[in-house]
A and B are shown apart, each in its own frame.
Chain A
Amino acid sequence: MSRNKRRVPEINSSSMADISFLLLIFFLVTTTMVVNKGLARRLPPPIPPDQKTEDLKVKERNVLVVLLNSDNQLMVQREYISVTELRKKAKEFIVNANNAQDMPEKKAEEVQFFGEIPLTRDHVISLQNDRTTSYKAYIEVQNELIAAYNELREELAKSKFGVSYAELDDDRKTAIQYIYPQKISEAEPKNYGGNK
Chain B
Amino acid sequence: MGKFNKNSSSRELPTISTASLPDIIFMLLFFFMATTQMKEVDFKVSIKEPKATELEALEKKNLVRFIYVGTPTDKYRGVYGSETRVQLDDAFADVSQIEDYIVAQRAAMNEYEQSLLTVALRVDEDAKMGIVTDIKQALRRAYALKINYVSRQRDNSQAF
Q: Which residues of A contact B (CB under 8 A)?
A: 13-14, 16-17, 19-21, 23-24, 27-28, 30-33, 35-46, 83-84, 129-136, 138-140, 142-143, 146-147, 150, 189
* A131 neighbours in B (Cβ, 8 Å): 128-130, 133
Which residues of B line the A interface, CB within 8 A? Answer: 18-19, 21-22, 25-26, 28-29, 32-33, 35-39, 49-50, 52-58, 64, 118, 120-130, 132-133, 136-137, 139-141, 143-153, 160
CB distance from B80 to the nearest CB of A (A): 19
List chain A residues, Cβ under 8 A from B139. Answer: 43
Interchain CB contact under 8 A, A17 and B37 = no
In the complex, chain B residues whose CB is within 8 Å of the CB of A129: 129, 133
- Return B37 CB to nearest CB of chain A, in Å: 6
Q: Which residues of A contact B54 (CB under 8 A)?
A: 39, 143, 146-147, 150
Given A13-B22, A132-B128, also A41-B147 (CB < 8 A): yes
Per the bound structure, the CA–CA distance linking A140 and B55 in Å amounts to: 12
Total number of residue pairs linking A and B with CB closer than 8 Å: 153
Docked-complex contact A37 and B57, CB < 8 angstroms: yes
Chain B interface, >50% SS class? mixed
Q: B64 to nearest A CB, angstroms?
A: 8
**Shortest distance in angstroms between B46's beta carbon and chain A's nearest beta carbon?**
14
Q: Flag if B22 contacts A16 (CB, 8 Å).
A: yes
Q: A41–B58 Cα gap in the complex (Å)? A: 12
User: Closest 6 CB pairs between A and B?
Assistant: A131-B130, A31-B36, A136-B125, A16-B22, A37-B55, A38-B150
Contact, CB under 8 Å: B140 / A136: no
* B50 lies within 8 A of A135 (CB): yes
Q: Is the CB of A142 within 8 A of B149?
A: yes
> Does B120 contact A36, Cβ atoms closer than 8 Å?
yes
Cβ contacts under 8 Å, B64 to chain A: 36
Question: Shortest beta-carbon distance, A43 to chain B, in Å?
Answer: 4
Nearest CB in chain B: distance from A28 CB, A:
6
What are some 5 contacts across the A-B interface (CB < 8 A)? Answer: A14-B18, A23-B29, A39-B55, A43-B144, A131-B128
Give A173 to B131 CA distance when docked, in angstroms: 36
Are A143 and B18 touching (Cβ within 8 A)? Answer: no
Other-chain residue from B29, B32, B140, B153 in contact with A37 (beta carbon distance below 8 A)? B153
Q: Give min CB distance, B129 to chain A, whole Å.
A: 4
Contact of A135 among B32, B35, B38, B132 (CB under 8 A): B132
**Judging by beta carbons under 8 Å apart, are B149 and A46 in contact?**
no
Residues of chain A lying within 8 A (CB to CB) of residue B126: 134-136
**Given A27-B36, A31-B37; A40-B129 close (CB under 8 Å):** no
